Amino acid sequence: MTFTARTVEADAFLSRPIAPLVAPVAHATPASLAPQESPAEKRRDALHGIASWYGKVFHGRRTASGERFDMYALTACHPTLPFGSLVRVVNRDNRKSVIVRITDRGYLDEGRIIDLSFAAAERLSMVKDGLAHVDLQVLSLGHPSNIN
């Protein structure tokens, strides 16, 4: 599976594709074709912005994916990532992180890049403030066919 910057371009400018295009090499094994990224390169591909959270008012309601929203589950709302995508969210102020699954779609205020469930916000210690500066790293993309 190959991902390109086009997959997440709607959220932020990426300095290079998520997975560089590699020309086939004669007698190469899959391991030798895998891109080797340093930690600095991985950080450069992360998306940056503001996270908010939602909870009680929406608890039990249907999300855009059709699932019922559970404020105690590690889930999130994102405007473009396919449902089922797994995303690591890191609070830039305290370096706490959480992995969430995208289950909802919706409008986010300008500058915001993700809306987290109460449980995810609690793990990042951002419930009281309501907002946090975060880095996002897409760990795996869900299946676009699941988008309603």
The answer as to whether 2 is a domain residue is: no
DSSP-derived secondary structure letter, 82: P
Contacts of 116 (CB under 8 A, 6+ apart): 51, 52, 53, 54, 75, 76, 77, 89, 98, 100, 124, 126
β-pairing verdict for 86-91 and 97-104? antiparallel
DSSP-derived secondary structure letter, 58: G
The answer as to whether 37 is a domain residue is: no
Q: How many domains does the chain have?
A: 1
pLDDT confidence of residue 81: 92
Angle at CA 21, nearest 5°, toward 79 and 100? 30
| Residue whose tokens read 């797994």 | 86
The answer as to whether 29 is a domain residue is: no
The answer as to whether 33 is a domain residue is: no
Range 125-135 average pLDDT: 94
Say if residues 134 and 48 touch (Cβ distance below 8 Å): yes
The answer as to whether 93 is a domain residue is: yes
Look up the CATH number of the domain holding residue 115.
Answer: 2.40.40.10
Domain of 124 in residue numbering reads as 46-146
Question: What pTM was computed for the model?
Answer: 0.66
pLDDT confidence of residue 31: 52
**How many angstroms separate the Cα of 17 from the Cα of each of 53, 56, 131?**
29, 38, 29
The answer as to whether 15 is a domain residue is: no
The answer as to whether 139 is a domain residue is: yes
The answer as to whether 24 is a domain residue is: no
18-46 pLDDT, tens digit per residue, is: 444 444 445 544 555 555 555 544 444 45
